[in-house]
Amino acid sequence: MRKKNPGLVLILLPGVFLPSFAYAGGGAHPNMGETLPLYSVLPFVGMLLSIALFPLLAPKFWHHHFGKVSAFWAVMLVVPLLMAYKGTAVYEILHIVLADYVPFIILLGALYTVSGGILLKGTLRGTPGVNTGILLIGTVLASWMGTTGAAMLLIRPLLKANAHRKNRTFMVVFFIFLVANIGGSLTPLGDPPLFLGFLRGVPFFWTFNLLPHMLIAASVLLFLYYFMDSYFYKKEGITAAPDDGAKEPLKLEGSYNFIFLTGIIGAVLMSGMAKWGDISILGIHRGLQDVVRDGLLALIAALSMAATPKTLREENAFTWFPIKEVAILFIGIFLTMIPCLKILQAGTKGELALVISAVREPVHYFWITGALSSFLDNAPTYLTFLSTAMGSFYPGIPEYQAVALLIKDNPIYLLAISAGAVFFGAVTYIGNAPNFMVRSIAEEAGTPMPSFFGYMLKYSLPILGSVFVLITFIFFI
């Protein structure tokens, strides 16, 4: 049998992406989203299906080769895109890597490193009351130290407290719902899309207008969690927390890492408030304050590693695998989602014109922003629909003025966009980066986690879907 030529795939694929015109290069970068065909999103679909199916159907292969799978789908997008769009494609690829992916990983890495140096010691047993308390504390903290910081700080104590429990999967799922997503809705520090809104003129404390939405969602989920935990607690026949010796008082070790966490928050705030001009990195313009922020975050992570004893991190079950997995998989996700984002950003001139045109009422903004944020990066999705709303109400008006007018005259639209981008991040494992990291840490600790589709079908769609319908009827209809 004649062997197939793998290079043939790469030779034929560019034809899929060739638009109706050829970009001549030079000058400004045209909006490729206006000419990209809808099927240019196929590598992104392939990336998502790989994340969903390989761990279920071929777990050993996935564990050892997920990096190669991510690279495969990235190549399937990058090579044809470069051949079809040349200089424009180079710019878009460099932009998403340097302006989006690298800062994203640096921030996640800093939060992961610093929070991994904080160890809660003492006797803490996972009763329904204790577990609900942990979820409540994490939900409150998430808006002030970011969903990633709060999740990384509390997931290990939650897992350790419940090591004696048989049913732990649902605990981690609700942790993802509340701490890794919904809890981050009150300040620009909580979740990246709100931070982007802050950069574009949304006042820092304006997002506190989401407090009623967050309180209802969090209250329903915490009540449901307590009911489920109580049910399983009784089902497991636990009448009291196991007695394995003298009770040790709770104490924090490595608490100096909270200073580093404060430094991370300060660096992020600085980058949003300072205006130091732009610098060019490989032709990509970035604010000097953003580059300084990334350098400070890397320095803070290094200082945390140097200041925290190795034995403390070992006792905290700290490993680099979760952040490594996120870094490898998300570079594939960021690259393959370029066509999706560009087509969305093209608005009514792109292949998703019908979707953009259908977004008119607050309920539309909430559900469509949310649905897309579940699978795409919620930050650019937020910006896409913020721009759609401003263009609908205030065409031709400068961005900062349009944002102020939207807040003054039509705040419900911004509330719908913000709530959709943050809340729906909990619908899939890739909706928000902490989801993936929490899942990885839980699996390392011996807690079985559902597959990509199992998470959605068994947990997020029925539970969160019901909560979002309630939110819709109360606030957006």
Dist. CA 375–CA 355, nearest whole Å:
16
- The torsion region of residue 350 among left (phi > 0), alpha (psi -120 to 50) and beta comes to beta
* Domain-embedded: residue 32: no
Which residues lie below 8 Å from residue 72, measured CB to CB, with a gap of 6+?
none
Q: Which two tokens stand for residue 379?
A: 């930050």
Helices in 162-278 by DSSP H: which ranges? 169-178, 192-199, 211-235, 257-273
Candidates 167, 184, 170; CA nearest to 218 is 184
Dist. CA 129–CA 135, nearest whole Å:
10
Write down the pLDDT at residue 393.
85
Query: CB-hemisphere CA count at 13 Å for 109?
Result: 24
Write down the pLDDT at residue 15.
46
* Domain-embedded: residue 155: yes
pLDDT digits (tens, 9 = 90+) for 327-357: 999 899 889 988 988 887 777 788 888 877 8
pLDDT digits (tens, 9 = 90+) for 265-284: 899 888 888 889 999 998 88
> For residue 230, with 0-12 CB atoms within 10 Å meaning exposed, 13-18 middle and 19 or more buried, which class applies?
middle
* Domain-embedded: residue 241: no
Write down the pLDDT at residue 456.
94
Q: Which two tokens stand for residue 155?
A: 């997931």
Q: Which two tokens stand for residue 158?
A: 């939650």
Per-residue pLDDT of the chain (477 residues; tens, 9 = 90+): 444 443 334 434 544 444 443 443 444 456 788 889 989 989 999 998 998 888 888 988 998 999 999 999 999 999 999 998 888 899 999 988 998 889 888 988 898 899 889 887 777 788 899 999 999 999 999 998 889 889 988 998 899 889 888 899 999 999 999 999 999 999 888 888 888 788 778 888 899 999 999 999 999 999 999 999 999 999 887 655 555 555 677 788 888 999 998 998 899 888 888 889 999 998 888 889 999 999 999 999 999 999 999 999 988 888 898 889 889 998 998 899 889 888 877 777 888 888 778 888 999 999 999 998 898 777 778 888 888 888 788 877 877 788 899 999 999 999 999 999 999 999 999 888 889 889 989 998 899 999 989 999 999 999 999 999 999 999 998
Domain residue limits at 327: 39-234+248-476
pLDDT digits (tens, 9 = 90+) for 96-111: 899 888 988 898 889 8
Contact 135, 178 (CB under 8 A): yes
* Domain-embedded: residue 276: yes
Write down the pLDDT at residue 7.
38
Dist. CA 316–CA 304, nearest whole Å:
14
* Domain-embedded: residue 27: no
Write down the pLDDT at residue 242.
57
Candidates 427, 428, 450, 429; CA nearest to 438 is 429
Write down the pLDDT at residue 369.
92
> For residue 12, with 0-12 CB atoms within 10 Å meaning exposed, 13-18 middle and 19 or more buried, which class applies?
exposed
* Domain-embedded: residue 410: yes
Write down the pLDDT at residue 21.
38
* Domain-embedded: residue 8: no
If one counts the domains in the chain, the total is 1
* Domain-embedded: residue 275: yes
- Bridge partners of residue 252, in order along the sequence: 120
The CA-based dihedral angle spanning residues 288, 293, 294, 298, taken in that order and rounded to the nearest 10 degrees:
140
Alpha carbon distance, N-terminus to C-terminus of the chain: 63
